[in-house]
Amino acid sequence: MLKAHCVRNQGSVPSAQAKADPYAQLFEVISFTTALQSDIGWALRDLWEDSKLTGRSLFIIGLIYSGVDRPRQLADYFDVLPSTMTFELNKLLAEKLLTRERVAGDGRSLQLKLTKAGEALHRKMMATIDAFMKERVSVLAPGELENFLLIGRKIARLDEPHVPPHRAAAAKARTR
């Protein structure tokens, strides 16, 4: 059961200040994306506690599932030292949620794969997020979600050639 959470209700209409001030509008973008990320974290809180994992660990499972499956890619994505990522990955290995295998033809590279338990946890995580987001997305008019995604990709610069290392790691994994 989802624990109670204080959700910010800022409404869908921008404030008068935000309409007049482009910096206020940009702050509003940051505010609602941060609020959404926080709310998703709260939606996943029971899963974190049940699995005895952190939010980052669950996110790592999602990234591995989507193809960001090399320790270095994950370290770049989170902008952490490789040793920090090794620590995180060792916890997931100990819980038998993933395996580490040598890449054929490159004995130095390791590829991470979800175990059956890791895949089951990923399915639970996605079902939780889906249930949480379904209500929010259901209020959108046809085409609004697509427009939101298009605008969001532009703001995040996901399609530009020079992207931060954490975005490049995810993009590279998607093209493999």
Least confident of 8-12, 42-46, 145-149, 157-161: 8-12
Judged against a pLDDT cut of 90, whether residue 42 lies above it is answered with no
pLDDT category at 16 given cuts 50, 70, 90 is: low
What is the domain partition of the chain in residue ranges?
A: 20-175
Judge contact between 72 and 30, C-beta under 8 A. no
The mean pLDDT of 103-128, rounded to a whole number, is: 90
Judged against a pLDDT cut of 50, whether residue 111 lies above it is answered with yes
* Residue that wins the pLDDT comparison between 167 and 47: 47
The mean pLDDT of 60-77, rounded to a whole number, is: 91
The mean pLDDT of 25-54, rounded to a whole number, is: 86
Predicted TM-score (pTM) of the model is 0.70
Alpha carbon distances (Å) from 85 to 7, 57, 70, 131? 31, 10, 10, 30
Judged against a pLDDT cut of 50, whether residue 1 lies above it is answered with no
Question: Cα–Cα–Cα angle for 82, 124, 155, nearest 5°?
Answer: 60
Mean pLDDT of the chain: 81
Which letter, b or e, does each residue of 130-169 get, where b requires 16 or more Cβ atoms within 10 Å of its Cβ? eebeeeeeeeeeeeeeeeeeeeeeeeeeeeeeeeeebbeb
Q: What fold does the segment set 20-175 form as a domain?
A: Arc Repressor Mutant, subunit A (1.10.10)
